[in-house]
Structure 1
Amino acid sequence: MKYSILLPVVPTRPEQAVLFANLVQWTAAERLWQGQSLILDSHHLATWLAGIGVRVPMGFGVSLMPLRSPYQAALEARSVALATGHSVVAGFGPGPVSFQSALLGQPYARPLRASREYATIVRALVSGDDAMVEGEYFSVAARLPKRPAPPVEVGLGVLRPKMAALAGEVADRAITWLMPAGHLAETLIPAMRGADRTLEEPVRTTAIVPLAVARQGRDVTALVEAACGNHLKAPHYQDALRKAGITVSGQGDAQDTARVVDAGAFLYGTVEEIHDRLAEFAAAGVDEVVLNTIGVAQTHGPKAAAQDLLQILGSATGVSAADVGLT
């Protein structure tokens, strides 16, 4: 199983991402992932980093479909691959119903259908094929101009079994968020593997896992609230957590925090304890874990988040805090 890093800040200036891109360059981390940003566009940030010479593999997990057409999404993902010289994982999801309504005027009546069409179109385009889809939500008859480029994998954000099955059918990656290893092993990964897949390569699973190293002066309730509070209040996340056996009130109180931590949806402990819990994801069949230190960055600052990441990724030899700008 590979480890990657989630950019734990929402930059207002691109320089704020350099520290974490350096961690990818100088540690065992595979890739720098970004969530959806509504401040500084994630694709623009990736190409800015490439422009100053910081070229690392990028992942986007997940970009929200209402923001861009599938053609534009394919163009942007391949642009990042060309700019960085590395492979890209481009993950997509429909987003919350309220977000769909705000941008589209109404939500997708069939979000699984919309996701199928979107992923199918993007995957055809980034593969150099003609995208010929007349869909209920997206219709495209086009192709990207042919250029040699590093590969772009297309992913779908997965919270529940039906989307897991869809990812297993049409996507290169299934990208999970806040789902404990046990639920992945027992429910989501079997749904992916049981899908009627026609693609040659099996679907791979990327799990984005919120975590923090236990240190003096840290409050786990505050860390979980900072990292996951908005998700715990969202109806689709509450439903997904219930399916994983975690019932939360959505208030972000200490009881919700305890349930999330006890279930292994948020990892908190010593570096050794965190590694033990991460091993459960490998045993579940996860191919890549993305270390998410957003809670630490928001409550204790970006350098504290980078220190946690550096310790967890300590398998890289000869890497010091000075190498990645932490001194």
Structure 2
Amino acid sequence: MSLSSHDYVQTLKGQRLIFPDIDGLFEGWPVGSSPHYDILRRSQNTQIFKLLGPGERFDTFVMADPALLASMWCPHSSLDALSLASAIVSFFFVWDDEMDSPEFGDTSSDFEAGERFRGTTVAHLKSYLDEGFPGSSDRPGQSEKLIASFNPVAELARSLLPHDRQQQLIKEAVDFVLSVGCEQQAELSGDIPNIEEYMRFRLRSSGVAVVFLTIECLAQVNLGDEIRNDTDFQKLGEEANRIIFLVNDVLSLKKELKFPFYCNAVAILYHKHQNLQVAVEKVYHMVAGSVGRLNGAVARLLARYPDRRSDLEAVVCTIKTMCTGNITWSQAIQRYGLDVDKLDGTTSITL
């Protein structure tokens, strides 16, 4: 395909995308929604309204409904733990909209502006590593307000996570911010990354790794350092990350074509294969591979730590509901414009 820059992505518009049997991949995996959803949504919307005020940014936040996503990710978690997960998701939505929503400003199309915003964000996040809360401006600008959406994350983490996990969470959040810079640089360069390059930075820019650091809190267990540092336990997080962002790439493609963005696994593989459905099927098989590797890691962990079966099963259940919850949330909201009630290989949308 000889089209340059973002032009080739435009050729996806109007094409029909047939969803593969995503539901079948996760047959038997747990699903649900937290009974704390309503109270969490009201509390979080009030908090973000105080931060952003009325307007399109707040309306977009409400439409994305991070509280619903967190509730479907973690249906069995306590309200406190769920509040932490929801605060993380809210930060992702509020902060990341500055990076990938041209309707809110020029940052998404200006790499230097993006670097300044990311630099200020990183400084703010790192200030939490020194035990002190960041100073606040009497009259914060819009950028400072967006960055301050991280504050509830750090405050909740301090009350719910041991100190070392708090530190790791903040460092992972810094890595997320910096990785979004890699993604923006790829978008603006016009040089389409190959799928291997994309996967490397997307594992960090998806934000799932930040949430995974809270997985024991969400599952209400303490696995201890031996299991926590086990390579198969780390693999659970890596494969769940791949599952979540790759499925999201399929489900969010219609929305992303609005701008258009090509840092999406389907779009990248479409450029390579010049066939939308082939690209979708390639992504589907990548997800299936991750499902198989995740299941293999689970089996090995259960065999290695038989006396911790109950705790491990609680963590695995939470990881799996994160994967299925991401799908049900995507179908439930209007953000992606799906309007399909099943993803069994028989439904489709027009991009």
Bin the TM-score by the shorter chain. Answer: 0.3 to 0.5
Larger Rg: 2
Q: TM-score under structure 1 normalisation?
A: 0.37
Structure with bigger strand share is 1
Q: TM-score under structure 2 normalisation?
A: 0.35
Structure with bigger helix share is 2
